[in-house]
Amino acid sequence: MNKRIKHLFKIAVISALTLFCLFLILNLGFLDSISYSITFSSLMTFIYEKYIWKVRLFNFFNNHPHIEGEYEAEINYLYKGGGKKEPTVNIKQTFLTVNVELKSDEMTSNSITGDIVEEDGKKILYYSYRTNPKAFFREDNPIKIGTARIIIEKEELTGTYWTEAGTSGDIKLNKKTKKSE
């Protein structure tokens, strides 16, 4: 994340200096130029962090994968003899944050923290999460804290998860496509 913070800082400084010079050329006065340039560059940095970085043109400058969206998941778990589940996963993302929410018929899990890092030349999503099982399933599947390691590839996201209760499994995510109406 330090690279991304430095990247945002560069954007803020460059835009502030550029705007400051522009406002001075427009004869707004020194203090007004400082005030306006800081205000507008802060706003531009905020908009970049939330939205603009996702535009493909800017991938050349930041090389950060955009994985936001809804996914169909396949989880092969090892808990109580193992099995398979097919929950849905919703990933929300800004330039600095990643939030993962998984929903199944038995529970939901929400990320506590997450980050995309580069590891051996691959982009990897790490996130920690907390499960929230529905009351009916809570006795057999209590609340857990866990971590997932997901390899980001063009067509799918694949990886593993594990929890503090000793449960683990494999997870594969395929992005949902919009159905034509």
Compute mean pLDDT per 10 residues along the chain, 181 residues long, and list them.
Answer: 82 91 91 92 91 78 87 92 93 95 95 94 96 91 94 92 93 82 40
What are the residues whose beta carbons fall under 8 Å from the beta carbon of 75, sequence distance 6 or more? Answer: 84, 85, 86, 87, 161, 169, 170, 171
Alpha helices in 113-162 (DSSP H): none
Of residues 93, 74, 91, the one with CA closest to residue 83: 74
Of residues 57, 77, 51, 91, the one with CA closest to residue 176: 91
Largest separation between any pair of C-alpha atoms in the chain: 74
pTM over 0.75: yes
